């Protein structure tokens, strides 16, 4: 007799003959209930519990008694209280079936903002256990055709193609597994892996290839769990500190692009080695990879010559997302694995910006978000669900410590935090790699090597607040202090005596130019959007995560905004790469969004120049840091310990 | 004002505003009018003439006067009498437009049966000249996206993917061609090549990989012309003469499959070198390749281990047609080229049989064709448009000269034609590589090395007709001739004294076993079809092309059939490979046919054994050769000089 079945939380319902398995009922209603083994009681992914609703209380006997397969499974991996295997439990009465989140293929995993533990999952690569008909003389089809038949009848997957590697392994694997194998299917269209017997390991790796550092994350493609994270310097630094010097290297040297491609791919491969060794897994467990990066890194990883990106009109080879065999990029992972590169938005707004958009999601918001990722160029995205605008602003490398007299990359020994006494103009500072401030016990001045981007921002803002720097950026004479010294017709501020670190007038000018470019880019987007103010500002990337939003506001780097709504986004591009690794929905989302972003080119907009000139001055006369300190117990540093830890 | 336009031979018609170009009118009506340059007067492929019909006589002024582009084109390549460029000629009055066959993309080229000059064309790879919008700062799309846009607007080709090689060359090629490029598009779905400016060279190569020889043909993909043909030994012979000994080699030697794969790919690559050098073209002009071969050759070329094909149930890795990048197979051709392997039909009925079916076309016929391809196994296909049956019969290698006391491969020095005097039983024979018969002036006995398959067939049939061999295959005593000599309890026939070449009783038994297997296989298919006779027999492959149908009938190798309807099919498999090279329609045809062929497995059919036993005897008592000689002036050899020439 037909029984009523209601699935929660989906609410789908139907009536089924008594004795129908819960898994079959779920499948026929399109309920999202996971399975790798296809209902054979092996994988344990189809666990459900009996739920209740008015008139249909939760009673165990609404399902059949525990079956042998469940007892066997329980002996291997204990089933939780009330948990049943959907493939073994048969419907014997009207019943409410609750599908817990960990039994759903597509799950909305709650994402912790600081540090990423798990992400929304909609697997691009899925594993399917199949039992394949043996060949016999009477029906001489190929082994592949019988695998395809099994995928069709057991998993409703049809018309699948197959990568050459799988074709080569097909016969031995089928025989080794006694005609029971697990296949990995990518995008419901291509068989990319095959293993004898049952298997439920499918890992992926996501990379954010920055011009300075490369960050990688190893994830479980099936659960979304992050298994390991690691980072290393981009060895291309040996060919030029910043992006433009690397493009110059390519232009000046025969085979230069190939060399840069080779070293960055080598670094990715080494990072893969670190990740799998940290997680205690094998390289060949990695079935899918994603890469984000600025356009030049994106091109070099893919083996595309970046020289057109060095000069106007900065033509990309392609803005589209690509799916490249990992083997073609020289990465030692599973031979069937592919590398998904996120789309680029424009010649200077790359796949890293696309990753940041995917992660921060301005297009999913009602209010107006300004997303800022500062590197050699600032990539800016402004918008909400109705409209998105993007631009790249030529900040130059000052924010990365370049063009600054004592500047350096953010690395151990770099001054990153600075406070200047408003009266005495005496400084105190903190150095990457050392906890104590310079005026605290245990501080070791001998490790100081220079000043990094966030440090130069802070010292200039503090000097402005202390009156050492005027609104127009001039360092003014301060006869009562020997911290301000004269060089010819300008003054410098001595931040450290030993080692000698000065903030020169040129340093201030360089930062003024950079911050004016950033501000003008944001203003230009606001003009295009037709607004005077934004609702939220997110500062992404390494620099964005380490500058104190207060000082960014003091200097006028960013447009006016409620300070409480200005915050660091962490490595938003890298999180976007992970989202794209774990979710086909996320890929389609960012591909669609990238197409509809309106690109604003600062170089051809006369108003950019106007905004730029207007933004040169330091606008605020108030000291918001001190204002804030009056009402809240503000720490000396507002950047998280997490942020500091990562940078080491 | 609208003008009436009628296209012939398609008969499509429509009305168009005065001033519409003929090419535009053809396109909007879906008339098959070729163009590579997209209507820019460069390629000259859209040539038409003004035709006539009652009430609409042929008058030049029904089209606009000759345009500058036509005059320019004419100066480069003279236009034929009355020929106009469809892209330049504008409709100014009602007109009949005749599209000659050489201006059609899809053409039914008449195929010469003996020797192939041109084949039906439906190009899988097409060239498209495009003019691409230059990038500019205001619309920063990628170069690829602008190429795709040009293909969409200028050629109505949408959603094309791109191979990595093209991606890497994209930017330099666009700039070198000043934003005018020609792209090669495969299967209307993938961009596989790009060249600066206009280009109209697109070549392909088709290969028939036999266990003994490899034949290759170089074709023009656009016109279907065969530019060069060549062949060479399959160097795998060094690892075993016949197929089964090569599979044994793979089973007994670690890395054996890889070695066999490597040498056969090397031979293909060398053959490509010969073909392009003979035609005076470049390797990179080759954009597409096809391969046919028996299942073991098919697997080895693709790098698939053939050992499952060595034992029952002879499971193929796959029966499907594959599209493999040529670079993966180690072939130096255009980096975007792919190799299409025709489908296999069953474990012993391979892509070579599929090629022969495509070429001979039993599925296109009303009468019943038996297609026989003899190698180590005989591949048999029986049927017509309603039904197709296939089987493989275990003839063993006797027909290839193996298992015969003085047997050898068909190569210079091998006896291939034999006549035995019906009275004196004295022989005369002809040797590969030498024109004179053994009893003619100029014959040099010193070059004789052995006897090949067609020679052993002829000598046994002749001996039967001369009464030296009885119907049960026994060599009988012939006291009056010293040609028949005793060895223990059996007799041998001395075909040549110096060098000594005998036909032993064992030789006759080996041929009896082989021909019985062939006959039994054919009978089994006829049983399954429910017929006692076939309408036509085609003997394909090297052996099939060199045996005289008369002797095949005498020995009872093949079922009864009107002798006039038994003929050699030449290298039908190779012709099939060429057809698949030149035509997407042909590919879809053979893929569809391969799926619906009914496979009959001789090893599991009890009736096969019955037929086999019954077929051991030599059935015919009449001498059809002499009978025929009474009515027609039959040459000493009925095999064409062409056939002989090819074998040398």
Q: What is the mean pLDDT of residues A463-486?
A: 93
Residue B475 sits in the same domain as residue B429? yes
Which residues have C-beta within 8 Å of that of residue B531, sequence separation ≥ 6?
B368
Cis geometry, peptide bond prior to residue B313 (ω within 30 degrees of 0): yes
Contacts of B189 in chain A (CB under 8 A): none
For residue B312, the chain A residue with the least C-alpha distance is A137
Whether residue B319 and residue A141 make contact (CB cut-off 8 A), yes or no, is yes
pLDDT bracket for residue B98 (50, 70, 90): very high
Whether residue A302 and residue B167 make contact (CB cut-off 8 A), yes or no, is yes
What stretches of B427-585 adopt beta strand conformation (E)?
427-431, 450-451, 484-487, 490-496, 501-503, 536-540, 566-570
CA A20 from chain center: how many Å? 43
Residue B415 sits in the same domain as residue B372? no
- Beta pairing, strands B414-420 & B427-431: antiparallel
Q: What is the mean pLDDT of residues A15-33?
A: 92
CATH at residue B327:
3.30.420.480
Domain finish residue from B48, B72, B103: B103
Q: Which of A248-262, A266-280, A550-564, B472-486 has the lowest mean pLDDT?
A: A550-564
Q: Which of A422-436, A494-508, A631-645, B73-87 has the lowest mean pLDDT?
A: A631-645
Per-residue pLDDT reduced to its tens digit, A383-405: 999 999 999 998 888 888 888 99
Instruction: With a cut of 50, say whether residue B339 has pLDDT above it.
Output: yes
Whether residue A136 and residue B313 make contact (CB cut-off 8 A), yes or no, is yes
Is B186 within 8 Å of B193 (Cβ atoms)? no
Instruction: With a cut of 90, say whether residue B524 has pLDDT above it.
Output: yes
Residue whose C-alpha is closest to residue B314's, from B527, B599, B520: B599
Whether residue A304 and residue B328 make contact (CB cut-off 8 A), yes or no, is no
Decide if B352 is inside a domain: no
Confidence at residue A642, expressed as pLDDT on a 0 to 100 scale? 39
Mutate to test the interface with B, among A140, A149, A172 (most CBs of B within 10 A): A140
CATH at residue A157:
3.10.20.880
User: Which residue in A167, A171, A601 is closest to B315 by CB distance?
Assistant: A171
Give the tokens for residue B440: 């003619």
Please tell me the distance from the alpha carbon of residue A565 to that of residue A354, in angstroms, as a whole number. 22
Please tell me the distance from the alpha carbon of residue A436 to that of residue A430, in angstroms, as a whole number. 7
Confidence at residue B232, expressed as pLDDT on a 0 to 100 scale? 87
Residue B297 sits in the same domain as residue B213? yes
Residue B331 sits in the same domain as residue B219? yes
User: Which residue in B135, B303, B347 is closest to A140 by CB distance?
Assistant: B347
Decide if A117 is inside a domain: no
Cis geometry, peptide bond prior to residue A570 (ω within 30 degrees of 0): no
Residue A183 sits in the same domain as residue A253? no
Give the tokens for residue A612: 């730029």
Strands of the sheet with A322-325, listed across from one edge: A226-233, A213-220, A203-209, A286-293, A338-341, A322-325
Q: Is A102 helix (H, G, I), strand (E, B) or coil?
A: helix
For residue B301, the chain A residue with the least C-alpha distance is A168
Q: Is A275 helix (H, G, I), strand (E, B) or coil?
A: helix
Instruction: With a cut of 90, say whether residue A138 has pLDDT above it.
Output: no
Per-residue pLDDT reduced to its tens digit, B422-480: 899 999 999 999 999 999 999 999 999 999 999 999 999 999 999 999 999 999 999 99
Instruction: With a cut of 70, say whether residue A634 has pLDDT above it.
Output: no
Whether residue B599 and residue A314 make contact (CB cut-off 8 A), yes or no, is no
Confidence at residue A631, expressed as pLDDT on a 0 to 100 scale? 56
Decide if A82 is inside a domain: yes
Residue B214 sits in the same domain as residue B335? yes
Whether residue A137 and residue B305 make contact (CB cut-off 8 A), yes or no, is no
User: Which residue in B318, B324, B603 is closest to A142 by CB distance?
Assistant: B318
Mutate to test the interface with B, among A172, A308, A318, A322 (most CBs of B within 10 A): A318
The DSSP secondary structure of A303-335, one letter per residue, reads T---GGGGSTT---S--S-EEEEGGGGT--S-T
Which residues have C-beta within 8 Å of that of residue A517, sequence separation ≥ 6?
A378, A393, A394, A395, A396, A612, A615
Crossing angle of the two packed helices A453-465 and A505-529, in degrees rounded to 10: 90
Residue B406 sits in the same domain as residue B496? yes
pTM over 0.90: no
Number of separate domains in chain A: 5
Contacts of B171 in chain A (CB under 8 A): 304-305, 308, 315, 317
Domain finish residue from B178, B196, B214: B196
Q: What is the mean pLDDT of residues A263-270?
A: 97
Q: What is the mean pLDDT of residues A299-321?
A: 94
Per-residue pLDDT reduced to its tens digit, A287-300: 999 999 999 999 99
Contacts of B389 in chain A (CB under 8 A): none
Which residues of chain A have a Cβ shorter than 8 Å from any chain B Cβ?
Answer: 135-145, 162, 164, 167-168, 170-172, 302-305, 308, 312-320, 322, 324, 328, 344, 346-347, 599, 601, 603-604
Residue whose C-alpha is closest to residue A495's, from A401, A407, A622: A407
CATH at residue B555:
3.30.420
Per-residue pLDDT reduced to its tens digit, B153-179: 999 999 999 999 999 999 999 999 999
CATH at residue A69:
3.10.20.30
Is A47 within 8 Å of A33 (Cβ atoms)? no
Decide if B220 is inside a domain: yes
Q: What is the mean pLDDT of residues B493-505?
A: 95
The DSSP secondary structure of B459-474, one letter per residue, reads HHHHHHHTTSB-TTSP
Radius of gyration of chain B (CA): 29
Confidence at residue A114, expressed as pLDDT on a 0 to 100 scale? 37
pLDDT bracket for residue A118 (50, 70, 90): low
Residue range of the domain that includes B459: 398-504
User: Which residue in B167, B170, B313 is closest to A140 by CB distance?
Assistant: B313
Residue B405 sits in the same domain as residue B493? yes
User: Which residue in A138, A314, A603 is closest to B601 by CB distance?
Assistant: A138
Proportion of chain A above pLDDT 70, given as a percent: 94
Decide if B40 is inside a domain: yes
User: Which residue in B142, B317, B324 is closest to A142 by CB distance?
Assistant: B317
Residue B386 sits in the same domain as residue B516? yes
- Annotate B57-94 with three-state secondary structure: CCCHHHECCCCHHHHHHHHHCCCCCCCEECCCCEECCC
Decide if A647 is inside a domain: no
Which residues have C-beta within 8 Å of that of residue A170, sequence separation ≥ 6?
A143, A144, A147, A162, A194, B317, B318
Distance from the Cα of B577 to chain A's closest Cα (Å) equals 21
Residue A393 sits in the same domain as residue A408? no
User: Which residue in A141, A319, A603 is closest to B141 by CB distance?
Assistant: A319
Whether residue B138 and residue A604 make contact (CB cut-off 8 A), yes or no, is yes
Decide if A544 is inside a domain: yes
Contacts 24+ apart (CB under 8 A), A306-312: A306/A246, A306/A247, A306/A250, A306/A257, A307/A247, A307/A250, A307/A251, A307/A257, A308/B143, A308/B171, A309/A247, A309/A347, A309/A348, A310/A244, A310/A247, A310/A248, A310/A250, A310/A251, A312/A603, A312/B137
User: Which residue in B316, B319, B604 is closest to A138 by CB distance?
Assistant: B604
Decide if B146 is inside a domain: yes
Instruction: With a cut of 80, say whether residue B593 has pLDDT above it.
Output: yes
Residue A463 sits in the same domain as residue A314? no
- Annotate B269-281 with three-state secondary structure: HHHHHHHHHHHCC
Contacts of B170 in chain A (CB under 8 A): 317-318
Per-residue pLDDT reduced to its tens digit, B597-617: 999 988 888 899 999 999 999
- Token pair 């993309």 in the structure block, residue: B105
* CA separation, residue A70 to residues A76, A533, B237 (Å): 10, 60, 57
Which residues of chain B have a Cβ shorter than 8 Å from any chain A Cβ?
Answer: 135-145, 162, 164, 167-168, 170-172, 302-305, 308, 312-320, 322, 324, 328, 344, 346-347, 599, 601, 603-604
Instruction: With a cut of 80, say whether residue B138 has pLDDT above it.
Output: no
Q: What is the mean pLDDT of residues B363-392?
A: 92
Contacts of B141 in chain A (CB under 8 A): 316, 319
Mutate to test the interface with A, among B133, B142, B296, B309 (most CBs of A within 10 A): B142
Per-residue pLDDT reduced to its tens digit, A214-247: 999 999 998 889 999 998 889 998 888 778 889 9
Residue A323 sits in the same domain as residue A227? yes
Distance from the Cα of B138 to chain A's closest Cα (Å) equals 6
């Amino acid at each position: 007799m037909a029984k009523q079945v209601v699935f929660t939380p989906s609410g789908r319902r139907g009536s089924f003959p008594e004795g129908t398995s819960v898994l079959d009922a779920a499948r026929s209603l399109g309920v999202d209930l996971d399975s790798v083994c296809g209902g054979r009681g092996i994988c344990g992914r189809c666990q459900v519990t009996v739920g209740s609703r008015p008139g249909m209380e939760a009673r165990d006997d609404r399902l059949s008694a525990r079956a042998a397969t469940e007892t066997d499974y329980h002996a291997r991996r204990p089933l939780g209280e009330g948990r049943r295997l959907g493939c073994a439990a048969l419907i014997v009465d009207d019943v409410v079936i609750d599908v817990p989140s960990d039994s759903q293929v597509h799950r909305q995993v709650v994402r912790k903002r600081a540090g990423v533990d798990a992400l929304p999952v909609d697997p691009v690569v899925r594993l399917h256990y199949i039992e394949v008909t043996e060949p016999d003389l009477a029906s001489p089809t190929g082994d592949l055709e019988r695998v395809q038949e099994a995928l069709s009848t057991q998993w409703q997957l049809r018309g699948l193609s197959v990568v050459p590697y799988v074709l080569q392994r097909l016969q031995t694997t089928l025989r080794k597994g006694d005609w029971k194998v697990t296949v990995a299917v990518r995008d419901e269209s291509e068989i990319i892996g095959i293993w004898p017997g049952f298997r439920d390991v499918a890992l992926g790796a996501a990379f954010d290839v920055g011009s300075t550092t490369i960050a990688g994350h190893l994830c479980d493609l099936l659960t979304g769990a992050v298994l390991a994270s690691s980072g290393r310097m981009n060895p291309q630094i040996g060919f030029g500190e910043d992006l433009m010097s690397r493009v110059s290297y390519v232009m000046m040297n025969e085979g230069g692009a190939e060399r840069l491609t080779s070293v960055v791919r080598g670094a990715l491969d080494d990072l893969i080695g670190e990740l799998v060794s940290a997680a205690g897994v094998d390289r060949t467990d990695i079935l899918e990879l994603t890469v984000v990066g600025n356009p030049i890194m994106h091109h070099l990883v893919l083996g595309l010559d970046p020289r057109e990106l060095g000069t106007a009109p900065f033509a990309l080879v392609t803005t589209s997302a690509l799916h490249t065999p990992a083997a073609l990029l020289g990465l030692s992972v599973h031979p069937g694995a592919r590398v998904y590169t996120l789309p680029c938005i424009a010649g200077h707004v790359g796949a890293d910006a696309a990753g940041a958009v995917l992660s921060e999601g301005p297009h999913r918001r009602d209010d107006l978000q300004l997303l800022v990722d500062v590197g050699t160029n600032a990539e800016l995205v402004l918008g909400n669900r109705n409209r998105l605008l993007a631009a790249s602003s030529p900040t130059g490398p000052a924010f990365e410590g370049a063009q600054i007299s004592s500047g350096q990359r953010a690395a151990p020994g770099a001054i990153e935090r600075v406070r200047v006494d408003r009266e005495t103009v005496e400084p105190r500072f903190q150095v990457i790699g050392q906890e104590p401030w310079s005026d605290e016990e245990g501080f070791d001045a001998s490790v100081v090597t220079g000043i990094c981007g966030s440090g130069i921002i802070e010292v200039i803002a503090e000097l402005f607040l202390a009156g050492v720097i005027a609104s127009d950026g001039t360092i003014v004479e301060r006869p009562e202090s020997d911290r301000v010294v004269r060089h010819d017709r300008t003054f410098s501020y001595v931040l450290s005596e030993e080692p000698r670190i000065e903030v020169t007038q040129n340093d201030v000018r360089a930062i003024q130019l950079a911050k004016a470019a950033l501000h003008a880019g944001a203003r230009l987007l606001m003009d295009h959007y037709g607004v005077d103010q934004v609702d939220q500002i997110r500062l992404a990337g390494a620099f964005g995560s380490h500058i104190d939003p207060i000082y960014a506001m003091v200097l006028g780097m960013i447009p006016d905004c409620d300070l409480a709504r200005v915050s660091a986004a962490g490595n938003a591009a890298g999180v976007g790469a992970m989202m794209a690794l774990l979710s086909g929905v996320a890929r389609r989302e960012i591909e669609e969004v990238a197409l509809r972003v309106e690109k604003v080119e600062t170089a051809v907009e006369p108003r950019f120049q106007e905004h730029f000139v207007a933004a040169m001055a330091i606008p605020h006369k108030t000291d918001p840091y001190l204002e804030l300190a009056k009402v809240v117990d503000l720490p000396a540093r507002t950047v998280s310990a997490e942020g500091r830890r990562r940078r080491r």
